Each structure stands twice: as C-alpha cells, then as structure tokens.
Chain A
C-alpha cells in the first residue's frame, strides 16, 4: 500500500527495517515500519522498552552504528528548499549537512547532551557555524533571542553559563534552543521530559507546542507516557516489538482504541481524574526481539488470539478515516 508523497508531507518512511547483529543473535529491532509526518504537526511515537521507537528515529538520519544495520527502507524527506530526497540514498556528506540543520534532535537526558566544558553560547555557536557562514555578532544575537524564546530569563547572562550551573529544566531548554538554532524543518524529540519534574515538564511541552505552531516546524515526539501524547500530539503511532500496531488521529485513538495492546496500555495508566478500583495489567512480558513471536507479535499476550494470529502477520488496514490498525480482529 504505497502512499504518495504529497505537498503536505515533510517525511515519509516506507518499510524501514533495522537489525542488530549481536553475539547473542540477530535482533529485529525495527521490522517494516512505515509512517509519515506532515507539515506543521506533532506526531507521537509511542511504545515501551524494546518497541523500536528510538531506533526508528535514529535511523531516519542514518545514526545507526555497528552492530546495527539498516537493512531496507525508503525515507523521503522534503528539504528546506522544497526538494524531496531519499535519506537512505544520499551521500554521507549530505546527510551530515542535514543533521543538526534541517533535522534536529532533542534527547532524553539534557545533562549528557551537553558538553560540560563549554558554555551554552559556545554550543549554539558551534551548531550554527557547522552549517552556515554567519558573522559572530549576528550569531550572538541569534543565540540570545533563542534562549529568550525558550523561556530562559536573563539570556544575555545565561549564554555564558556552563551546563552544571543550570537546573535540569534550564538545561533541557538550552538543548532545545541548540536544536532550534538552525531553524530545522523537522524536530525529533526522544523522551524530552522524562527526567524532569512534572511542573517543568508541563512548561517544556507548552513550549514545544508553541514553537511548532509559530515556526511551521514538524515534530516527532517519542514517549511512553500516554498523558503527554494526549496533551501534545496531533497523530499517534503505537509501536510494539518493532512494528507499528495502530496509528491515527489522537482523538480517535483515545476514544476508540482498536488494537488490544493500545486498549490495555490505556487501561494500565492511572487516570487521576477518574476513580479507578483496579488497574488493568497486561499479562506476560515484552518479547525478545531475537526470536520474535510468529505471526502477530502481540499474540502471546493478547486475550483475543485466534489461530490466524499465530500463523500470519496482520496487515495494516484503514479501520475508519484517519485510523489504522494491524490486527486480525478488524478484517
């Protein structure tokens, strides 16, 4: 079911497969994953450990290192100059130019993303200089504006701060400002608020939403927290054991979750606004990706397993408008 790369598309991933060749065996981290990102939207990639969400986003800019290998896949990306390229096919030099410039990352731990020996100003300076030729004074102005934009008070002073002189929330804001310094087309945020306090998290999520809206960026947000997804995302992709099991508009997914995994995931998260007597638990554990279960990978834990689930992998079908699911219950 090959889709067309339309005017509204920024990114389209088709049949991405990533395998890790370890001493323990071949880990099928990501298996034939396809998804898309449109202009000016926030897409959430949801999954637990081992779902493959992080590997998928690293693979977009070929950040996979040995023993990992991108086996197959097509990644179409609309560059700033409106040209459409396949990120899998371009040269190493070109993809390095895109990284940090047109596609920027924000990682989970702001402390390890920052070099303790350099000030924030120096970080931004380096990121900009790597991709553009701009006068030093202009870089400084851009940096101060960026820091102010992400909500850091007294940016003229803060620009000279070292990472250890800042709190966790400020560090993450700094990381965001560094990622934004070249005005990327696509921002990939990997669990950007997991290590932060809930009140700071709320501030950062608000900030990200605002930035996407006013800069016309697109964002892929990776998280395991369904609450964050509901707050921020426009569309959602649910991943399990290296595959996408359900996807669609955020309202549809939450009001009518189709895949049994999605349903159980939603019921396993305590909603503080409702009185819950007992949380629903998902029996079993996440499967090993070296020897994934046959057929549908969720079948060992699924309460609705049928014969066909064990034998054949279900295809992704459009259950309703803007709502897709890969499950034999809906054929």
Chain B
C-alpha cells in the first residue's frame, strides 16, 4: 500500500538578486514509498535530498508536480485531511543541538504534540516517563533543559518527539551524522527497534551510503536533483548500474585494508556542477567515464533495467 508518492516533483528556489535564475534543487522526482518499509535516499551535497525530504513532508511548496499521501495531493487536502497528514508525517533532524527548543524542558517539548492533538494518555507525567524508557532514557531527563543533555541523548528526545504521535511516516535527515561512531550505532539500532514495534515507515536520508544500506530496504541515489538509480539495498551494492552509483560505492572507505587496497576504484573527474546551471542532457555526463554522444544531448529516462531495479542511464536503454 503506497504511503507516500511523488509525481514528477520539482522544487526550484529563486536565486537572490535575480528574477530568472533558479536553483533546481529537485528536478522531476517520482518516488513511491510503501508502508512499513525504509526507503534510503543517498546523495552528496547539492543532490537535493534534504529538500526532497522536506517537500515530502509539506514544508516546502513544489514548483511543479505533486506529493501524494495515501493517494491524496497534500496541497489540495481539506482541513481535516491535512491535519491527519500533518500528524502522520514527522521528521528527525540532523543536528540534535538545534532541533530542540533550548527554552523548553524535555517534558514541555514532549507534551506539546500530545496537547496539540488532544491525545488521551491519562497522567501526562507518568506517560512520558514510560515513553522515555522506550528510547533508552531514564525519567530523570524529563524536567531537564536540552543543554543539560549530550548529543546522543538529545537525538533520542528528538526521535521520541517525532514518534510520540504514532505517525505513519518519519523522515530522518542525517540523524546520526553529528554523533560519534559509538553513539551512532546505538541510535541506528534504536531506530530499527522502534520501526518494528510501531509499524513505522522511514525515509532515511544520508550521504553515508554504508549507514543507508544498513537501515534501508530500498535505496534511491540522487544526483543534482534527479534520481539516477533505485533498487533494493543488497541489489544496489552487488550490482550498481549507474556510473555515479558505481563511483559512489567505490569511493566509500571500506574498513578492511585488504579489500580497500585491492579493489577496483572508479574515480570521478572534476567537481560537482552547479544546480543553477545543470549540464545538458544527462546531468552526470561531464564527470562520467562512459559518456556517449546521446548523453550530452538528451536526458535518459528511468527504465527498469532488471527486476525492481531502475536506472536512468543511456548505457542500459534497449529499444
């Protein structure tokens, strides 16, 4: 059952000081996320993944295209439908230090969603204490201020805030990037447990493809506002089709010196281009080792190269 769908979503931002120039952060993305799965979105800076995540949640208005929640366009919902959507679509942000209001206690931060949606939980204090245990925090944290907590603890509170309304969808934008390695592992495992017990659907956004692979069922690879490849996680790693994906995987530092130094490396040439003036045809062509004539002239369509494995690249286009 499709939970979230985007149809040719385009998010453009106006460049300051110019009326015509636009930053094409997301340029025609069509995705489908099913209930209870984790879709990973991988991309580097300028890929548009964070913008996509926020657009899916309705925080940014699309320039063109639609975002559908349970097959309803979120920008055309009536009040009650929108409230339902709002309650079911939450986010965990990258920086735990700025995602909690520094002037509110943890209790106040967690009470807010409960009070806003009039949840009947009985004694709020007791309820919150129980909830804190679910994310691995003791009741003593309830009346503290965010600055009294460590980064990992803050992120747990942020996660609890996101799921306390029992949403269907949680978008996680680099939730562990600012944390230490040992803390990161704890948070990732917590997220996995919570997904099972609460039947959550995740969209996991990160630049760290190893983490994305660990967390996701399917992975979408983004480059300069477009999706270049989507496949199941294992499949993507075993058989990366798009040259960018191949290079991305080959660039990941592998914590195994034998493999790291022996494996074949695909290195990209040059720098990522600007999202204001994307290259013609296939956006990746200036850095691709396999560029052909058609790549410069025409944008490749997304095709199903193998079962459930989609790629947008002229190398795999068979007429």
Contacts and interface: CB of A to CB of B under 8 A. Distances in A.
A199 B251 contact: yes
Contacts of B270: 153
B254 A227 contact: yes
A269 B252 contact: no
Contacts of B260: 227, 230-231
Interface stretch (B5-13, B108-116, B203-211): B203-211
Q: Is the interface of B mostly helix, strand, loop or mixed?
A: helix
Contact of B180 (A49, A169, A280): A49
A226 B265 CA distance: 18
Nearest to A202: B251
B43 to A, nearest CB: 9
Interface stretch (A14-22, A63-71, A271-279): A271-279
Nearest to B273: A167
Nearest to B208: A198
B237 A273 contact: yes
Nearest to A166: B271
A170 B270 CA distance: 10
A239 to B, nearest CB: 13
Given A48-B180, A231-B254, A272 B213 contact: yes
B189 A281 contact: yes
Interface residues of B, number: 44
Nearest to A249: B257
A197 interface: yes
Given A202-B265, A230-B256, A272 B272 contact: no
Contacts of A271: 210, 254-256
A270 B188 CA distance: 10
A33 to B, nearest CB: 20
Given A167-B272, A273-B237, A268 B184 contact: yes
B304 to A, nearest CB: 24
B122 interface: no
Contacts of A84: none
A216 interface: no
Contacts of B211: 270
Contacts of B35: none
A251 B257 contact: yes
Contacts of A265: 181-182
Contacts of B127: none
Contact of A279 (B214, B249, B251, B259): B214
Q: What size tier do the contact residues of chain A reach?
A: 35 or more
A127 interface: no
Given A199-B268, A270-B213, A229 B255 contact: yes
A198 B248 CA distance: 7
B182 A230 contact: no
Contact of B209 (A49, A169, A198, A200): A198
Interface string A245-261: 00000110011000000
B150 interface: yes
A264 interface: yes
Contact of A199 (B248, B258, B261): B248
A294 B247 CA distance: 47
A224 interface: yes
Interface in B212-233: 213-214
A228 interface: yes
A280 B185 contact: yes
Contact of A230 (B44, B237, B253, B267): B253
Contacts of B44: 197-200
A282 B234 CA distance: 26
26 contacts: A48-B182, A167-B272, A198-B248, A198-B251, A224-B181, A227-B255, A227-B260, A229-B255, A230-B254, A230-B255, A230-B257, A250-B257, A251-B258, A254-B256, A268-B181, A270-B213, A270-B214, A271-B255, A271-B256, A272-B209, A272-B249, A273-B256, A276-B214, A278-B192, A279-B189, A285-B150
Given A199-B251, A286-B182, 5 more contacts: A153-B270, A226-B253, A227-B210, A254-B256, A282-B186
9 closest Cβ pairs, A-B complex: A227-B253, A202-B251, A197-B44, A268-B185, A282-B182, A270-B214, A272-B210, A279-B185, A226-B255
Interface of B: 44-45, 150, 152, 180-186, 188-189, 192, 207-211, 213-214, 234, 237, 247-261, 265, 267-268, 270-272
